[in-house]
Amino acid sequence: MMQQMLAEVKGLNMDLQTLPVVPSSHIVKKILRLDIPKDGYPNFNFVGRLLGPRGNSLKRVEATTGCRVYIRGKGSIKDLDKEELLRGRPGYEHLNDALHILIEAELPANIVDVRLRQAQEIIEELLKPVEESQDLYKRQQLRELAMLNSNFREESPQMSGSVSPFTNYNEIKRPKTEE
C-alpha cells in the first residue's frame, strides 16, 4: 500500500521492500535532516502527526523504509520543563536547534539512497499541514487510537477503509540498531 501511495505521489514504479541486496555490498550510513515548518504553522501539531498513536505512525515509516527517524530540536520533548532541564547537557545539544527530523539509514550501499529518499518522501507528505476537517490521515490515526484503547465504534460508512499509507497494524516495532 505504501509503495502504491509513493508511486501515485512521485511516479515511482518499484517495490522498494524487495530491492535486491547484494551480499558483497558494504554497509553505508547516511543521515538526512528535514526542518519542520513550525514557524509558518505555529498551531499545527507536527510531532503528533509524525508519531501517531503510541508512536505507531513513525514506527511504520521505519519498518517500511529500514531507516531510523528521530524528532529533534526545541519542542521534541513533550514535557517543556524537562526539556528546559536537559538543554545544554551532553547528548541534548539538539534542543538548542529548531524543531527538525533526522532520517538515518545504515544499509547496503546499493539501496541506502533509495530507502533514504523513500523515508524523506513519506515524511515530507506528513509535514504538509492539512486543515483538520480535511485531514484523513489524522482521522485514521484517531480511529487507530480508539481501536488501541478498545473503544472504537464505526460512526459512518464513509469512514470505512484505510486511508493510512500503511497496512499492517499488528505489532509494529522499531528496527533494532546498535547504539
Contacts of residue 23, defined as CB under 8 A and 6 or more positions apart, other chains included, come to: none
Cell numbers at residue 85, please?
532541564
Sketch the domain layout of the chain as residue ranges. 25-148
pLDDT in tens, 13-61: 445 455 555 555 799 999 999 999 988 888 888 998 898 888 888 999 9
Reported as a single tens digit per residue, the pLDDT across 77-119 is 888 899 899 998 999 999 999 999 999 999 999 999 999 999 9
Contacts 24+ apart (CB under 8 A), 54-57: 54/145, 54/148, 56/144, 56/169, 56/172, 57/126, 57/141, 57/166
CATH architecture of 25-148: 2-Layer Sandwich (3.30)
Whether the predicted pLDDT of 3 surpasses 50: no
The rounded Cα 13 to chain-centroid distance in angstroms is: 22
Higher-confidence position of 45 and 4: 45
Whose CA is closest to 126, among 98, 160, 164, 70? 164
